[in-house]
Amino acid sequence: MTERKAVHADLKALSQAFSVLTSDIEETMGGLAVCAFEPGDVILKEGEAGTSAYVALKGKFSVRKSQWLVLSKEVAQLGPGDLFGEIGFILPTTRSATIVALEKCEAARIVLDDLKKLLDRHPELRARIEEMARRRLYSLSAASQA
């Protein structure tokens, strides 16, 4: 993984993903960085504590759920504009899935304190993300039982 400072195009992509003004992203996300990943890189690991969330900017990511001790299966794929890692913000829990880069990818890493600042400004966005997190938890639970 390599990391770089976010540029205006990254802020604009986040603005579109969250449906908020670019200026709100600039004002609330001082800890924002863009991470580049190679195929096979693990971005988040199931069971670990969460300290950040990500928005996919380029490429495809695999969402993997543990099956048994060492096996996992893909339960979803994510692409540009998709948010992941948000469940740790909404609920005090460990990561619920592993996220792996399927190809060369970029994702904006958002420190959870910065996400909180943005959601405090936009209660409607908080409600959308909380609902998305609940649906994802349900889907992950159902996928692991299938």
Fold of 2-145: Jelly Rolls (2.60.120)
One-letter amino acid for residue 114 of the chain:
D
Q: Are the C-beta atoms of residues 86 and 115 closer than 8 Å to each other? A: yes
Exposed e or buried b per residue across 71-99, where buried means at least 16 C-beta atoms within 10 angstroms of its C-beta: ebeebbebebebbbbbbbbbeeeebbbbb
User: Would you write out the chain's pLDDT as a tens digit for each of its 146 residues?
Assistant: 899 999 999 999 999 999 999 999 999 999 899 999 999 999 999 989 888 999 999 999 999 988 766 678 899 999 999 999 988 777 777 898 999 999 999 999 999 899 999 999 999 999 999 999 888 888 877 766 66
pTM above 0.85, yes or no: yes
